[in-house]
A and B are shown apart, each in its own frame.
Chain A
Amino acid sequence: MVEAVKRALGKISVEHIKLELLGTAYNSSSTFLGRLDPRMLLIWYLFFAITPWFVYNRTILLGMFIFMVVTTVLSKVSPYIVFILCLGLVSQIGWMFLLSLFFGGGAESLLPMLTLTLKLSVISLASITVFSSLDPERLSDGLSALGVPDAFAFSLSYGYRILPTLLEEFHQILLSFRLRGQRPAKHGFLYLRTAAYYLRILVLVFYPLMLNTAKRSRTTVEALETRGYTYAVNNPKVKKLRLSYLAMQRRDWLFVAFSAVYISLLFPLGASFPNLLY
């Protein structure tokens, strides 16, 4: 067990996480969903994030779930993300099931939980679909077009721009701690000592990181000034120009139409066969 964890941890490096994160964030324009209009996608997402809460018909939920699985496959999500999602869902069900067994429940208590899981899965898959199909730029522009304040939209996209830099610096500082620190000589019971050592460093790294970032952001703020950022914020014309590339195209309409037809068929189907699943 300990060996397996060690091997798994050995494969996770800061470099690896960085690539995976950025890959998920930016490698989306190649997929079908990635080419859709961000405003449309955001509204589409809003629908699938909210309606499942109010639907108790398992057939409808199942229909939505299938739809979401298809869109998730279409958006070519990184397997890591899907894995983490499954882990979350399974553990959620798992501990609730354990709890129900403890209070004298049986296998039959699984079924109502399955309904909740279906809802959560639909919502989670919708989030994954949309947010991995929208790179931060399009997300930021989409939000901005839907009326979210510009400063927020810009910081979102800037946050992603600076993320690799921060990760790199985090890595370097972590290395400094490790190169000059002393790992416990013995791993201790269940590797607890070693784990405590690493956790402590992980926390400590944030202090120098924050100080360095504060120093760096001075130039950034100044540069934004010289690059006309404040001018843009105070000029609605600039926003219009920046967002002028957003346009609903044929494929956007097709996607909306398909979703609408699918959902509108799903509801009567669910009403006539409410117990299709169980």
Chain B
Amino acid sequence: MDKPLLELSNVSFTYPGAEQPVLQEVSFTLQQGDFVAVIGSNGSGKSTLCKCFNGLIPHYYTGDFEGELKLLGESAEGKRVSELSRHIGYVYQDFENQLVRPTVLDDVCFTPLNYGLADYRERGQRALELTGLSGLSREFIWQLSGGQKHLLALAGALAMDPDILVIDEPVAQLDPQHARQIYEILRRLNEHHGKTIVVIEHHAEFIAEYCRSVVLMDGGRLRWQKPVREALTSVEELLALGIYPPDVTRAAWLLQPDRQAAGNYPLSCEEGRAWFGRRTAAVNAADPANAWSFAAASSDGAPAVPTGAAARAATEAAVNLSAAEPIVRMEQIRLSYRTIHKTLQPVLSGVNLELYAGERVALIGNNGAGKSSLMKLIAGITVPTGGTVQVKDITVNGLPPERLSDIVSYVFQNPEDMFIDDSVRGEIAYYLKARKLADMDARVEEMLQAFRLQELAERDARLLSGGQQRRVSLAIGAAVRPAVMLLDEPTANLDISTKQEMTRVLEALRGHVETVVIATHDMALVAEWASRIIVMSEGRIIADGDKEAIFSDGQLLRRAGLAETQLMEMSRLLNLPQICSSLKEFTAAAGGRKGELVHGGSR
């Protein structure tokens, strides 16, 4: 415990030709048994810091390196990456590219085999057991789901039985339940197997629940290293850097922003329940006339009652919709894929669906529920095994995708798959140019402006950051002015502040597109944006309704492999009259002021 496992002292690193160093005099110690989260905004040096641990910097990336690294009390100077890597397992953010062998067992044994350890098979098997992949050892990599690939990358690192595990964004691409599964495994490794774990993480809720301490990076400097509670309750400081503490913590901060209270801010829903409960009691005691009683609401038994105006608006909308012609109509859709074993794998079974103009549809469900497949059917990219798909009275089945591209545009999950030209402007113009449209230049300009891409217009889209790439992909889709726009996981791989921005970017789509469909498992996005929610599970639609109807049924989300956002869970725990989806609504409701509550409810 006394001796630090890893020690960086006064480390600075500058890429050749760069003016600013990416790391500036960073000193950092890693204690045996710690579970550290490294946070910081994009480009603050989080990955760079972690790449110093195993000597990738300075051995692999050349540049000016100063300072010293000590691993297990020994100076790392003169040691190669492969020597240091015996003690440090590294899981990349794009983990798929670190799997280099064809089958699961081969890949997990690769590292110990490379180091010439005779028991490499046993090591591989043990690592697979630790990550729960034992049953899949003979499978081929490309048959695994994203979550399984990630676990395999982790297992590959574990096979060496390293002292330190570094994981770059462990849950970026996973649905909430798989994300939790990964963290449960990491916790077990930390608590029962004595591994020291370092994660680069954006999700404060996971940090609060699983990590022990937090390192904050800012502009290449290590600003501080604090225990997790102290770190995450520094709400103001974190927000200033574009890092978002858990929603409950922020809610508490909004209601009571003084510094003395900070230490008591809740970090989890459990703590939040106590905190907000105490607070309400205090408010009630101080001003009973103005207080709103949680007890009264819970005795009503029906927490989610829409206010009169909202209910009326909903009915009116429903009447309008039923009178209108649906834009998309799917009848008895079935879809199955052929696998390598020549068997058919059903993906969708008996789906009926109608989508109308003006709807903002969220298609939710866990990885593999059939969301993407459903959207690809609408875009005419895949042909259904049975049933018919109609878009604007055109029967889609089997039409070449070119025919539909004026009506439906599909934005891929991975923006890079959409980049076929050498500049952002070229990407947006490609469709318009192919059709020789007269107002091409004007439309491109309009899109560049709507998605704030003017300054990036001449850059190659492949070299932009994740959030910028996403904006380009949306602009490409919107330039078509389609009736239906389909977005596959638009917030995957984005950090939280970029995610927050997405809601605004999606607003920019309005006016260009009649109906927008988003497949996602990001419940915060759904809560803020959607007007209609369709829940999918195992190739079927298991629920379809508006926010209130879907979110008030906590069981439903769990059945679909999803998790409530903290605000939803808090609203339920506190028996608020409605399930809140934004911080504003929540603080208004939980803050105990009646006037704002009504306002929030009719929004």
Contact = CB atoms under 8 A, between A and B. Distances in A.
Interface stretch (A103-111, A219-227, A250-258): A219-227
Contacts of A158: 100
Interface string A215-239: 1110110111111111110010110
B140 A242 contact: no
B340 to A, nearest CB: 6
A223 B85 CA distance: 10
Contact of A227 (B156, B410, B412, B430): B156
Interface residues of B, number: 60
Given A165-B142, A222-B56, A235-B116, A175 B420 contact: no
Contacts of A241: 113, 116, 118, 120
Interface stretch (A20-28, A49-57, A66-74, A89-97): A20-28
Contacts of B417: 169, 172-173, 175-176, 212
A18 to B, nearest CB: 9
B116 A226 contact: no
B206 interface: no
A178 B97 contact: no
Nearest to B405: A179
A157 interface: yes
A26 B381 CA distance: 28
A177 interface: yes
Contact of B430 (A157, A160, A180, A238): A180
7 pairs of A and B residues whose beta carbons are closest in the complex:
A223-B98, A228-B114, A232-B114, A172-B417, A219-B97, A182-B434, A164-B142
A177 B82 contact: no
A232 B116 contact: yes
Given A172-B417, A227-B110, A22 B340 contact: yes
B192 interface: no
A227 B85 contact: yes
Interface in A178-227: 178-183, 204-205, 208, 211-212, 215-217, 219-220, 222-227
24 contacts: A19-B338, A19-B340, A22-B140, A26-B340, A179-B405, A180-B431, A181-B402, A182-B402, A205-B420, A212-B416, A216-B94, A220-B98, A222-B56, A223-B92, A223-B97, A225-B81, A226-B56, A226-B81, A226-B82, A226-B85, A226-B88, A230-B81, A231-B83, A241-B113
Interface in B223-244: none
Contacts of A223: 90, 92, 97-98, 100
B82 A228 contact: yes
A53 to B, nearest CB: 34
B98 A161 contact: no
Contact of A232 (B83, B113, B156, B462): B113
Contacts of A160: 102
A38 interface: no
Contacts of B88: 226
A262 to B, nearest CB: 33
A137 B82 contact: no
B100 A237 contact: no
Interface of B: 54, 56, 60, 80-83, 85-86, 88, 90, 92, 94, 96-102, 106, 110-111, 113-116, 118, 120, 140-142, 156, 337-340, 342, 379, 381, 400-402, 405, 409-410, 412, 414, 416-420, 430-431, 434-435, 462, 476, 480
Given A176-B418, A179-B402, A222 B94 contact: no
Contacts of B101: 157, 161
A228 B434 contact: no
Contacts of B80: 230-231
B464 to A, nearest CB: 12
A66 to B, nearest CB: 29
B115 A231 contact: yes
A201 B60 CA distance: 38
B113 A242 contact: yes
Interface string A157-171: 110110011000100
A121 B295 CA distance: 86
A136 interface: yes
B97 A179 contact: no
A165 B401 CA distance: 22
Contact of A172 (B106, B412, B431): B412
B116 A176 contact: no
B97 A227 contact: no
A238 B114 contact: yes
B115 A228 contact: yes
